[in-house]
Amino acid sequence: MSAPIKAPEGAPFARILATGSYRPSRVVTNDEICQTIDSSDEWIRERSGITERRWAGDDETVATMSAAAAEKALAAAGLASQDVDVIIVATCTHPYQTPSAASEVASMIGVPTAAAVDISAACAGFAYGLSMAQDMIRGGSAGHVLLIGAEKLSAFTDIYDRSTAFIFADGAGAVVVGPSSTPAISPVVWGGDGDQLQAINMTQNWVDFKANGFDIFPTISMNGQQVFRWAVSEMTRVCRESLDTAGVTVEDLDAFIPHQANNRITDALVRALELPDSVAVARDIITTGNTSAASIPLAMDRMLASGEIHQGGNALLVGFGAGLVFASEVVTLP
């Protein structure tokens, strides 16, 4: 009989230990956006809540922004990069098919031996990654996971497309996930609707781009109304299920940090969930735009830094986007 294989042994629970963020320095106003689309500052504010956003410059990439956010999160956690076992970058705008942004980050922050992987779950990427990080820690495959949501959406946005040009923006948010003696991340509620594949997609793929003589650069296209309807109806159900799964009610929440897709989607969810006034609601989209996988950690980091939310509070997170896919957890704030 062959020798038994040793089973992995993990920590009893996992928690977010600290956050960090990177916001590109260039502020892009609605008036600047309206130079290439037929729109107005007033329309953009009213329909999306966005007053301005940040766009990265040439020297600011998904990897450099990720590394900058990661270093802040590690410093806040009191950890060295060598303490990181796995780096996950959730992104849909890393411009290389391979190697991954996570491998670039591993090299940049001086921990080239860490396991490194990107995940592609669009605006749900951070919430997907958080569940995966928790499973790695509890499953024994990692001690500390560096989870980063990072996007340079401006590189894949058609500035002449008035259904997307005003929404998308750039930035990176990072968290360090590590072992915990008490539960601090609930079981994930996740899923999708692959039949709505076309609701948010690329205008063409790289192979067609080449076959078509490099004519139309692939950019993100979106059926805004379809996504809006799905987000409001489905995410209400998902958030309720997430609260039930975590064993808490809205009365137990200190914060609601949904993906920053559109302020009106957030408003609709707040109303449908009947959140008490005491729950702090993320509104980072107003000055940050929709940064896809980066939006939840960026919002969390800003809310913690401003004192709007506090360590030890409960936050309901929900990410949703292209796929269509979604994921939600209740977490204890770091």
Ligand X SMILES: CC(C)(COP(=O)(O)OP(=O)(O)OC[C@H]1O[C@@H](n2cnc3c(N)ncnc32)[C@H](O)[C@@H]1OP(=O)(O)O)[C@@H](O)C(=O)NCCC(=O)NCCS
- The CB-of-142 to ligand X minimum distance in angstroms stands at 28
Q: Which of residues 135-194 bind ligand X (CB under 6 A)?
A: 162-163, 166-167
According to CB under 6 A, which residues from 112 to 141 bind ligand X?
123
Question: CB 189 → ligand X: shortest distance, Å?
Answer: 17
225 binds ligand X per the rule CB under 6 A = yes
Kindly give the interhelix angle for 41-48 and 263-273, rounded to the nearest 10 degrees.
Answer: 30
**Nearest residue to the partner ligand X, using Cβ:** 224
Measured from the CB atom, is 76 or 222 closer to ligand X?
222
Residue 68, helix vs strand vs coil: helix
Least separation in angstroms between residue 210's CB and ligand X is 27
Residue with smaller CB distance to ligand X, 67 or 324: 324
Q: What does the per-residue mask of binding to ligand X show for 51-90, with x meaning CB under 6 A?
A: ----------------------------------------
Which residue is listed with tokens 């360090």?
176
Of the two residues 146 and 231, which places its CB atom closer to ligand X in the complex? 231
Residues 143, 83: contact at Cβ < 8 Å? Answer: yes
Q: How many CA atoms lie within 13 A of 163 on its CB side?
A: 13
Strand 200-202, strand 26-29: pairing: unpaired
Question: Residue 323 has what DSSP assignment?
Answer: T
3-class state of residue 133 by DSSP: helix
Q: Candidates 88, 222, 232, 285: give the one binding ligand X (CB under 6 A).
A: 222
Q: What is the DSSP letter of 203?
A: S
Joined together, the tokens standing for residue 30 give 């609605």
C-alpha angle 6-9-14 in degrees, rounded to nearest 5: 160
Q: Assess contact for 72 and 175: CB atoms under 8 A.
A: no
The least distance separating ligand X from the CB of residue 165, rounded to whole angstroms, comes to: 7
Question: Residues 234 to 263: which contact ligand X by CB under 6 A?
Answer: 261-262
Catalytic residue set: 123, 259, 290
Give the x-and-dash track for 264-303 against ligand X (CB under 6 A): --------------------------x-------------
In angstroms, the first-to-last Cα distance of the chain is 48
Q: Shortest approach of ligand X to residue 313 CB, angstroms?
A: 25
Structure tokens at 331: 């977490």
Provide the β-strand partners of residue 190.
Answer: 327
Per CB under 6 A, residues contacting ligand X are 37, 39, 43, 47-48, 123, 162-163, 166-167, 200, 222, 224-225, 227-228, 231, 261-262, 290, 320-321
